[in-house]
Structure formats: structure tokens, C-alpha cells
A and B are shown apart, each in its own frame.
Chain A
């Protein structure tokens, strides 16, 4: 089945540092989404990408839809304590309704 490989699995950084994480797939996706999940909560949509090559920002977050349509990255600039959580990429193929999720990147920030 379709799989998304997300890396890194975890990150330990200092407050103020920039963060980068990515997802790759052997399949082509037509939509890439990035979600953040806090403990005991559902995933919250951060950024949605719909076109190959698209670069989209949401405040300190920037995400890109890879030109091959098989990858995407998420950058967080100048991290703050509330950025702590698990970040998931998710993709959808043409005509499908389901989202395929990556394994998640757990972000920990040392003040």
C-alpha cells in the first residue's frame, strides 16, 4: 500500500532554532497536508498544498510540495515553546478521499 516516510522521527532543539522535517513517498500525491497534534487532541491542519512546486507559508511555518509530487517539507523558523508536539504529513492521491499519514515527527524544545 501507499506509505509516507517521514523524518526525522524526533527532534530536540533549543528555543529560537529553525526546524526542518520532510516526507517522501514512492507514490505520486496530488495533495500534501501538514498537521500538528498535541497530546490527547486531534490533528490540526497547519498548511495545505495542492500543486507541484507550491511553496506556502503560515506565519513562521513554510511548506513546499515537491516538484516530483513524491515529497514535501515543512520548516518552522525561530521555534517557540508552543511549537512542541507531533507533526504529521499526510497525502492524498488523485481521485482518492483517504489521507495517508506519515509516522510523525516529535518536536521537543529546550528553553
Chain B
């Protein structure tokens, strides 16, 4: 069964550093998303991406965040200057329409 692949599985970074989280969506999917989940809490929407541009974003997705599809297979989330409160699981997801998503296994980001 096709999968959404995320790397790394765990990233530890110092406060103020830039991090890039990487995702390979399912190959024939057209919609791509990033969500985050702070430990013990619910999953929260960050951003959706379609046709090479951001189509929707939440208030969490401020100027410190950016997304990119640098080639035909990768989809990245960059956090420019990490804060302690950015520590969370970050999930990439993709879909082939406006219906059910497939989520990746996540990247656990720890900011120290």
C-alpha cells in the first residue's frame, strides 16, 4: 500500500536554529499538508499546498514557517528560528482529492 514517508523520524535542535522536515507524499497525490501534534494533545492543521502554492494556512503557520516542493517528489516544512514551543510531532499528509488523507509516521521535533 502506498505510503507517505517522513524524514528524519526524530530531530533535536537548539533554540534559534533552522530545521527542515522532509516528506515524500504518495506519488499520484496532488494535495499536500503539514499538521502538528503537541505531546498529549490533538492534531492541528498548519498548511495545505496545491498546484505549487499554499492554498490554506492556520494562524500557527506564521512567518517562521515555510513550505516548498523543490522537485517532483519531496515536500518540505522549514522552521526558520525554532522556539521551545515548536517541540511537537509534525505530520505530513497527502491526498488525491478533497477526500481522505494519508498521513506519514511523523517527525518528532525536540527544541532544546
Contact B45 A99 (CB under 8 A): yes
Contact A97 B50 (CB under 8 A): yes
Other-chain contact of A41, B42, B55, B102, B105 (Cβ < 8 Å): B105
Please give me the residue from chain B that is nearest to A103 by CB atom.
B42
* A43 contacts across to B, CB distance below 8 A: 43, 91, 103
Contact A45 B48 (CB under 8 A): no
Other-chain contact of B100, A41, A48, A96, A101 (Cβ < 8 Å): A48
Judge if A111 is at the interface, Cβ distance under 8 Å: no
Please give me the residue from chain A that is nearest to B55 by CB atom.
A97
* B45 contacts across to A, CB distance below 8 A: 98-100
* A104 contacts across to B, CB distance below 8 A: 42
A33 to B45, CA, bound (A): 15
* A96 contacts across to B, CB distance below 8 A: 56
Instruction: Give the total number of A-B pairs whose CB atoms are below 8 A apart.
Output: 57
Judge if B104 is at the interface, Cβ distance under 8 Å: yes
Contact A50 B48 (CB under 8 A): no
Number of interface residues of A (CB under 8 A): 23
Please give me the residue from chain B that is nearest to A104 by CB atom.
B42
Provide the B74-109 mask, 1 if CB < 8 A to any CB of A, else 0.
Answer: 000000000000000001010000111111111010
Other-chain contact of B43, A41, A50, A97, A101 (Cβ < 8 Å): A101
Interface residues of A in 70-108 (CB under 8 A from B): 88, 90, 92, 96-104
Contact B103 A102 (CB under 8 A): no
* B99 contacts across to A, CB distance below 8 A: 31, 48, 50
Contact A101 B105 (CB under 8 A): no
Judge if A11 is at the interface, Cβ distance under 8 Å: no
Task: Indicate whether A97 sits within 8 Å of B31 (C-beta atoms), given known contacts A44-B103, A48-B100.
Answer: yes
* A59 contacts across to B, CB distance below 8 A: none
Other-chain contact of A42, B41, B100, B105 (Cβ < 8 Å): B105
Name B's A-contacting residues (CB within 8 A): 4, 31, 33, 35, 41-45, 48, 50, 55-56, 58, 91, 93, 98-106, 108
Name A's B-contacting residues (CB within 8 A): 31, 33, 35, 40-45, 48, 50, 88, 90, 92, 96-104
List 11 A-B pairs, Cβ < 8 Å. A31-B98, A35-B103, A41-B106, A43-B91, A45-B100, A48-B100, A97-B56, A98-B58, A99-B45, A101-B42, A101-B43
